[in-house]
Structure 1
Amino acid sequence: MLAPAAVQAIDEAAHDAEPISLAEVNERSALLARFDRSYLVPTETFAHVVGRLTAPQRRGGPLRALAIDGRRAFRYHSVYYDTPDLRSFHDHRQGRRLRFKIRERVYQDTGERQYEIKLKGRRGDTVKHRQPLTGTDTPLAPAQQAFLAATLNRAYAIAAPATLHPSLSTDYLRATFVGDGERITCDAGLVCVDLRTQQAVHCDTDLVLVETKSTGHLTDADRVLHAHGVQPAVFTKYCGAFAALHPSLPANRWRRAARRAFGTGTG
C-alpha cells in the first residue's frame, strides 16, 4: 500500500538531501530558545520549497537532513499534560505572557523519552526546558513535578498547577532540515487524540506541517515559502487539535487553520 502523499514527500525530500548527524545538529542549531513559525504546505509546493533549500548551489550552503542510523524520517509520540480546565490551552488563547505547555516526547525509533516544558520568553520567543525520562518516570512523578515547580518559579515566579492530567496525544512522522542557526521541521501523518474522550482527528494526507525555527526572525526558508504563496498559519498541534475536536471551545484564532488541517469531522 502506498504511503500517504505527505509522508512520502518528506521521506523522499530527506533522502534526496545531504545528511547531517544529531551531534552536528546540536552543535550548529540546538535552538532551545527560538522563534517558531508554522505553515500548512501542500505536498507539491513542499517538494519545490525543499528542493530549493537543499540545492547544492544554494547561497550559504544547502540545508541538510538529520540522519540517525540510516534513517531520515522519524516517528514522534507526544503526550501533553494540562489542568482539568485546560489552563495551558486557555492561557495561549488569551495571549498570556506567562504561559507554558507540558509534554512527554517519545522518539519512537530510539526509545528516548524527554520531559519538556515550553515557555514564552520576554521577546516572544519559545524557550524549551527538558529533562530525560528513564525507566518508569512520568511527568507526574515527584522529580518531574519538582523540575516543573523550579522552572516556573525561576522563569515566571509562579507556582506549578496543583493538578495535571494527560490531555492530548500526537503521533506523526518528522524530517528535519538544518543549516547554521536555523532548522525546519516537516511533519506528516499527524493524528491527535483527546485522552479524556478518546476522540481523534487526522491531518489532511496531502499537507505537510512545516515549522521554521531560528534565533532571529525571518529565515531563508520563510522567504522561500512566502515566494511560493505560502503564508504562516495560526496553528499549533495542541490548540489546533482541540479547536477541531471541540467546536464549542472558544478557539476562533485557530479555527481556520484547524479546519484546513483536519477538516470538520472527528473519528
Structure 2
Amino acid sequence: MSARSISLAEVKERAELLARFDQAYLVPTPIFAALTRHLTDPRRPQGPFRALTIDGRRWFRYHSVYYDTPELRCFHDHRQGRRLRFKIRERVYQDSGERQFEIKLKGGRGETVKHRRPLTGSDTPLDGPYRAFLADALRTAYGIEAPTLLAPSVTTDYQRATLVSDGERITCDARLRCDDVRARSAVRCDPGLVLVETKTTGHLTEADLFLHAHGVRPAVFTKYCGSLAALRPGLAANRWRRAAGRAFSVIAPS
C-alpha cells in the first residue's frame, strides 16, 4: 500500500471516532486496490489519506473474543434491530500484546458508541472490575442491567490496515477467520474479498461514493453476527445470511 505514514498517536488525535457511523463493504481485491490508489493519490484535493504505520508495519494482526449469554442475547437483539443493543468483546492487538475490553452501544442517532478499558496481566472481561464497567455503561446509556451469565461465543482473527484523514477512518480487513467457541467449528473469508469499513461522524464519505460508483453496495454484515449466521445455519439470521454466504465461502476445520 503506497501511502504516507501516520502514527497511532496522530490517528487518535485526528480520527479516534469512539462515536461514529459505520458502513461495511465486502470489496473484491481489484476494486480495493483501485480504492486505495484513489484515496492515497498525492494529487487528491483534500490531501491523500495516510496509512497507520507502527515499527514499519502497515498490516496488523487482530484477535477478538466476543462474549454473549447462553441464549445469544446480543446476537438476537441485533437481529431484531432493538434500539438498546450492545456487543461485548476482548480485543487483542497481537503485534504489540495490548488488550482492551470493549463495549459497543448504539447512540440516539443510530451511531456506534464504543467504551473501552485496558486489560492487563491475566485479567478477563468476566472479572469483577470489568463486570462493573459493563454494568455502569449499560445502566448509564440505557437504564438496563447487565446480563449475569456471559461466556466466550465467537473468536475472530484477521489482518488490518487503516487509512486515515481528518475526522475519517477506513479499516481494511483481510484473511478473516471466525471460530465458534461452543460448536468448535470455523469459517474463513473468501481470500478475494477485503472487508472495508468506513467510519465517520455522519455523512457519506469519498470512499463510500467511490465504492458505490464501482458497483459495491453496503453489506448487511458484522464480524460477530455474520460469522454466527455462517457457523450456525439453524439460527434465525436471514438479515445476514446473504452477505455471510458470499463472504464465508471456505470452511476451515477447527
| TM-score band w.r.t. shorter chain | over 0.9
**Residues 32-181 of structure 1: matches in 2 within 5 Å?**
32-181=18-167
Q: How far apart, in 1, do the equivalents of 2:184 and 2:3 lie? A: 38
Aligned residue in 1 for 2:248: 262
Once the two structures are TM-superposed, the CA of residue 126 in structure 1 deviates from its matched residue by 0.2
Once the two structures are TM-superposed, the CA of residue 222 in structure 1 deviates from its matched residue by 0.6
Q: 1:244, 1:264 within 8 Å by CA — same for their partners in 2?
A: no
Of 190, 202, 211 in structure 1, the residue corresponding to residue 197 of structure 2 is 211
Once the two structures are TM-superposed, the CA of residue 59 in structure 1 deviates from its matched residue by 1.6
TM-score by length of 1: 0.93
Once the two structures are TM-superposed, the CA of residue 263 in structure 1 deviates from its matched residue by 2.2
Q: 1:49, 1:228 within 8 Å by CA — same for their partners in 2?
A: no
RMSD: 0.8
Matching of residue 250 in structure 1 with residue 236 in structure 2: yes
Once the two structures are TM-superposed, the CA of residue 69 in structure 1 deviates from its matched residue by 1.0
Sequence identity of aligned pairs in percent?
70
Q: 1:245, 1:266 within 8 Å by CA — same for their partners in 2?
A: no
Q: 1:172, 1:187 within 8 Å by CA — same for their partners in 2?
A: yes
Partner letter of residue 15 of structure 2? Answer: S
Q: 1:76, 1:107 within 8 Å by CA — same for their partners in 2?
A: yes
Count how many residue pairs are aligned between Structure 1 and Structure 2. 253
The 1:203–1:92 alpha-carbon spacing in structure 2 relative to 1, beyond 3 Å, is: same
Q: How far apart, in 1, do the equivalents of 2:48 and 2:251 lie? A: 39
Unaligned runs of 5+ in 2: none
SS at match of 1:131: strand
Partner letter of residue 20 of structure 2? Answer: R
Once the two structures are TM-superposed, the CA of residue 42 in structure 1 deviates from its matched residue by 0.5
Partner letter of residue 246 of structure 2? Answer: R
**Residues 11-26 of structure 1: matches in 2 within 5 Å?**
13=1, 16-26=2-12
Unaligned runs of 5+ in 1: 1-12
Partner letter of residue 83 of structure 2? Answer: R
